[in-house]
Amino acid sequence: MTEQLRIATWNLDHASNSSRPVELQIKQILNINPDILVLTETCKEVAHGLHSYTCFPCKPNEYGKYYSSIHLGPRVSFSKSLDTYDETTATCVQVNTPLGEMIIYGTIITYHGDKGLNNDSPAWAEHYKAIGDHGNDWERLLLDTGWKLPLLVAGDFNQTRDNSSRTYGTKEGRDLLSVELSRNRLSCLTTEDFGGTGKLKPDPSKGWTRNNVDHICMTDKDFRVIQTGAWNHFTESGKYLSDHNGVFVDIEAK
């Protein structure tokens, strides 16, 4: 049987706050059973609960939070940590997998209301800037390896990319990100309208299906996508786990 790898990402909406049941978040993650997992807005309680996974960074910040964290399952081994342009935003590791060596980059591309260092940036301005900073970071990582290692980028991109009627973000932001993905030979694998295809259910309180802003991208020459999936931000009984759905992809070597 051909080796496959499952990659997933989920924003846990400041996990460990009083309204987010960490034990149910952990249960959902273990049910998905990814080999590589990028969590954003997560916490040490989730990392400790995922005891079969190795977490990077190894230590949360002073508030017990991980802005972005990468979790490696038993089939994936850590090789080394790699610097990012802003360690409070992005974390990066080089790993060995059943499909070979690769670079994993977990991140949040900042949201529309980020006011910037001087607290005076207009809506979306910091988002646009962050897209350029991320693109330059991806290019540096690829150049450092001579474009010989696959790059996988995952996290909260704060923009929909499914071309549906219910969108978040701006056309300018989507176009800017498309440029950065293209010049770094990255393809976004999570552009599907998951609500339209029935992979996500309507929010039990709001009555509409959430549009996905958490994405998985990868350099496009090395792997074949077997399936793309998503899970709801609430349980079957309607208990909220986050304000974001999660997504995953299964890949194999070409």
Residue 128 maps to which CATH number? 3.60.10.10
Q: Percent of the chain beyond pLDDT 70?
A: 99
Q: Is the pLDDT of residue 68 over 90?
A: yes
| Lowest mean per-residue pLDDT among 8-17, 70-79, 114-123, 223-232 | 8-17
- Domain extent, residue 237, equals 4-253
Has residue 19 got a pLDDT over 80? no
Task: Specify the number of domains making up the chain.
Answer: 1
0.95 exceeded by pTM: yes
Quick one: pLDDT band at residue 17, thresholds 50, 70, 90? low
* Whether pLDDT at 1 is above 90: no
Rounded mean pLDDT, 42-66: 92
What does the pLDDT read at residue 220? 81
Phi, psi of 158 (to 5 degrees): 55, 40
- The pair phi, psi for residue 138, each rounded to 5°, is -60, -40
Closest CA to 94 of 44, 142, 42: 142
Computed on alpha carbons and rounded to an integer, the radius of gyration of the chain in Å comes to 17
Q: How far apart are CA 111 and CA 79, in angstroms?
A: 31
With a CB cutoff of 8 Å and minimum separation 6, the contacts of 70 are: 36, 37, 38, 55, 56, 91, 92, 93, 104, 106
Kindly report the average pLDDT of the chain as a whole number. Answer: 95
Judge whether residue 131 has pLDDT over 80.
yes
For residue 62, the model assigns a pLDDT of 83
Query: Which token pair is 23?
Result: 């034990």
Q: What is the pLDDT of residues 204-246, one digit of tens each?
A: 999 999 889 999 999 988 899 999 999 999 999 999 999 999 9
The pLDDT value given to residue 63 = 82
